[in-house]
Amino acid sequence: MAPSMTANYPYSQISEFSKTIATSSDLDPNFGGGVSFKPSSCGGITTARKPWQILQDALGFRNEDEHFWWETTASVLGCLLEKAGYDVHLQYQYLSLYYRYVLPSYGPRPLQPGVPHWKSFMCDDFSPFEPSWNWDGSKSIIRFSFEPINRASGTSADPFNQIKPREVLAEISDISAGLDTQWYDHFAREFFLPSETASIIRSRLPEGEHMSQSFLAWDLNGGEASTKAYFFPILRSLETGRSTRDIVVDAITKLDSEKTSLRPSLTVLEDYMSSLPTEWQAKYEMIAIDCTDPSKSRIKIYVRMPSMAFNKVRDMYCLGGRLHGPNVDAAMKILDDLWPRVLYIPEGTGPDDELPSNTHRTAGAIFNFELKPGNPLPDPKLYLPVRHYAKSDLDIARGLQSFFRLQGWDEMADSYVEDLKNIFPTHDLANTAGSHTYLSYSYKKKTGAAVTMYYNPRIYECPPVVDEVF
């Protein structure tokens, strides 16, 4: 039976409901419970109903659009929370928040299979939701990014989809831990464009380029949902004729103050970027900020290099030797182990050789360089666009399994391949690549290696069958 349509539930009611429903006898007694890596299935046949299914029936939906987006996104998020070992009460809490604040922000469902209302740059098939699973050997954290969309997105009223992200940020101010919009407001002023420039931008937009301006993201950790925001300089670059690098650096420099000085670490990054040969064509792709007090926030600059030659990737991770020492040496040693396990490397490929050519807009390695007040050096993180350089998602999962085993992360090694199958039961994991989007890798002195798997629900590439609401 189709879920009922309901009115908009206030957060307090949803919160109370999530506490009550978590004790439901409809639940598998072994489900969740705060223990990592339960073998129960999210996909496939199971008698136990999952929190996302119970919430779906209990809360209902305001319209057909929300029903579609719940089926295609909350099912994935719910499964990830389970597989990452979140206590069942936290699963209900986070899914309830998702229902209340995020679900309404995806806008119209596709009226034709595979045809989005707004082409989000979030995923390669334009899906506006990208969940991720972070693991550092001691704990799992689930995160997700999303691009808020409404019916005006892409129309003359909001050609660049700049309205809905700001509305959602205002709506979540009462539940997001320590939310502060000072930096968001600053970068919105720097990057957002007036609607009147739409015809100029469209005439200058290269084929395959995107028009997304801002994403939001939640880290689901410790019972809180901390908010991040992302901005893209490409449209401002097209409007002004200036490089994305110049636009990003100018915007960050304007923030400089005694309390939030980012100049030392930014100078190190800029010195390296200026030293690169022209043929490397490294491009400032986007920035990310923590939506918190500026003295505690970070800025991450994402740089894409259209290269997948191992030695070039190593060089950028170390900023050409500007980052050095035992931690960097340890990071490089582990990267040596990760690289051949998650990428397809043809026989005879040397460390200076490019991997097989790929001209897709999202091909090539990405780095984010974290700038934080008080830190004299940028902190690097590598993102491998594995979907473009692996034979299949199953190959990626098996490679990760091998890497996890090598790191001594036996729980993840034992479960990851089956977990992936359960998270995406309708995806052809053995014969296609695309459920994994990126794999990030970083190394910290205190925690050692950390990897994050980023996923595409493939909403438009693999449209699911959704029951009719009416």
pLDDT tens column, 358-410: 899 999 999 999 999 889 999 999 999 999 999 999 999 999 999 999 999 99
Residues contributing to the annotated binding site: 130, 143, 228, 230, 298, 300, 302, 383
More confidently predicted of 356 and 261 = 356
Candidates 177, 239, 253, 183; CA nearest to 214 is: 183
Q: Is 385 in contact with 365 (CB distance < 8 Å)?
A: yes
pTM of the complete model beyond 0.85 = yes
- Residues 20-32 pLDDT 10s: 544 443 443 333 3
The most confident of 106-115, 220-229, 396-405, by mean pLDDT: 396-405
Residue set of the binding site for L-tryptophan = 130
pLDDT digits (tens, 9 = 90+) for 54-94: 999 999 999 999 999 999 999 999 999 999 999 999 999 99
Residues marked as binding for dimethylallyl diphosphate?
143, 228, 230, 298, 300, 302, 383
- Is residue 347 very low, low, confident or very high in pLDDT (cuts 50, 70, 90)? very high
Paired strand residues for 142: 133, 220
Q: What is the pLDDT of residue 273?
A: 97
172, pLDDT greater than 80 = yes
Instruction: Determine the residue type at 78.
Output: G
Banded pLDDT at 336 (limits 50, 70, 90): very high
Highest mean pLDDT among 208-222, 252-266, 450-464: 208-222
